[in-house]
Amino acid sequence: MEHVKADILILGSGGAGLFAAHHAADQNPNLDIIVSAKGLIGKSGCTRMVQGGYNVVLHPEDSVEKHFKDTIKGGGGINNQELAWTLVNDAPKRIRELETKMGVFFDRNDDGTVHQKPFAGQSFDRTVHKGDLTGIEIISRMRDQLYAKPNVEDWDEVRAIDLLIDEDSRRIAGCLMLSLRTGEFIVVHCSAVIVGTGGAATMYKIATPSLEKAGDGMAMCYRAGTELMDMEMMQFHPTGLLAENSRLNGGVLEEGLRGAGGYLINSLGERFMKNYDSERMERSTRDRVSRAAYMEIMAGRGTPLGGVYVDVSHLGMKNVRKMFPGMVERCRDVGKDLSKEPVEISPAAHFQMGGVKVDNDCKTNIVGLFVAGEDAGGVHGANRLGGNGVCDSTVFGARAGDAAAVYVSSLETSVEVSTTQIYSIIEEVIEPFQKVDGENPFYIRNDLKNLMWENVGLVRNGKDLEHAMANLELLEERVKRVSVKGSKRYNLTWHELLNVRNLVTVAKIVTSSALMRTESRGSHFRVDFPESNDEDWLSNIYVKKNQKGEPHYRVEQTKQTHVNVQEIQGYKVVAPSK
């Protein structure tokens, strides 16, 4: 077992992790910083997969107030308004930094200004982009610029197992890591940890995120004693590509297709959004479009593959191929020509609005632990606007890096990692190697994905949620019975077990929170409570592990610190007409 010392350890190399690294290194070039990823830094994670773009106020006719109200409206009014206000105000600074310091090239208008395209749920076209593959541009440039920072060390294919806490001060003391390549454990001794590993949407049968995502950060933070919030709020992207028995199944077809005037059509050839949001039609918010598509499918108006169609062919073949080359290529991989014909799509689990409770500087209730990006909750409330995701990662990644550097630089006392704590975690993690026969984690993962899709998905009800909770308890027991064989080096079965363990932990919290919220709001829709209920539920659900190791839930009314959400029209869920 290797022991390594650092000042700051950053878990995750998406927008949050890389921005945190840049800001921490710039804040204090004398700090030793490690960036660690389960995959390859710059080649994995979900920010790299961002297609549509980045919401930011740049045009003189736009305003941060408009962006803020759009964000609150989309979030069903339960956003942490301080975090949402910070998001929209910091975004222009981060865009300038991406262009001038990182060298990111965004698409331009003929007059040289940055081009901004329409995205759903917005009152102004404010989505900055690089074609329809924006994430690759952002992450590649940010990754390249890290080479100029000698105090930042990159670790590829090293995953975090659990956070280590100083038992006397209850401060962060480090993290137990595991190298996928060698199978060896690494103890990182550090004063601050920034968690930015992403969410757990891969607990669902059809999902959009990168394959290595498994809710690791949320699960670790929960086990360490942080408070989580809004965990029932899981966003389903309306347009996940349907590709039977393929890894491409669920791959996102970007929101700009709808923003540019694309149609959503059922098997009868009807533009069904007229029955669900006749004003905004296909440009309605993700939660409403996804739910509408799901209801069309459930009503028997679905396609042969069990989805609906997205059709942009009426925009013209040349225009489609010029505007959406990445999407055309993606559809071509499954034998479809997006520029000339409708393509089958389905809602797909995409993004978790819930996460660790943080303040404006990404601080948690554990001193020295900072959380940014999808691992953090509060910014998006009950539903995230398309284009606000990478905005969130860069804005709060930067803040986490700045705050962690200031915190570490001001420390006068050191922290200690308990050997007992380390070996207790390791013993649990390697125990499956000692079992001769046991459960297969790949089968458990498959059962989890089906269970969550069928019972805790787009449309929920109390009976299904209770069924899911009972079965999640059984899955948790099955996880404990998994056996693993072979070497610890690149042992995919072992790592699948670690993934499933974290996914089941997060899934239980998602399901319990969904059962508690007896209303519909944002991405959370219950057929037994189909309307938003402000009187009881203009509130957030929080959960924290108690001293017995069990989840303790509490409900707190959402603070209206900048705007009274009841003055914003359209933030509530109303029962669909069809």
Show which residues are catalytic. Answer: 237, 258
Q: Of 7, 45, 402, 426, nearest to 193 (Cα)?
A: 7
What distance in Å separates the CA atoms of residue 210 and residue 198, rounded to the nearest whole number? 10
The 539-545 sheet, strands edge to edge: 355-356, 228-229, 539-545, 551-557
- CB neighbourhood size of 245 (10 A): 6
Q: Of 7, 441, 506, 513, nearest to 216 (Cα)?
A: 506
Cβ(177)–Cβ(188) below 8 Å:
yes
User: 409: alpha, beta or left, given left = phi > 0 and alpha = psi -120 to 50?
Assistant: alpha
**H or E stretch covering 344:** strand 343-352
- φ, ψ for residue 401 (rounded to 5)? -65, -45
- In sequence order, what E strands does 84-171 have? 116-117, 127-128, 152-155, 158-165
Q: DSSP for 154-207?
A: EESSEEEEEEEE-TTT--EEEEEEEETTT--EEEEE-SEEEE-----GGGSSSB
What distance in Å separates the CA atoms of residue 492 and residue 484, rounded to the nearest whole number? 10
What distance in Å separates the CA atoms of residue 300 and residue 246, rounded to the nearest whole number? 24
- Grouping H, G, I as helix, E, B as strand and the rest as coil, residue 372 is coil
Q: Where are the alpha helices (DSSP H) in 271-336?
A: 286-298, 317-323, 325-332
Cβ(207)–Cβ(521) below 8 Å:
no
Cβ(264)–Cβ(293) below 8 Å:
yes
Maximal C-alpha separation, the chain: 69
Q: Of 140, 379, 41, 477, nearest to 33 (Cα)?
A: 41
- CB neighbourhood size of 124 (10 A): 17
489: its two tokens:
């080096």
Cβ(268)–Cβ(301) below 8 Å:
yes
Cβ(573)–Cβ(532) below 8 Å:
yes
What distance in Å separates the CA atoms of residue 493 and residue 504, rounded to the nearest whole number? 16
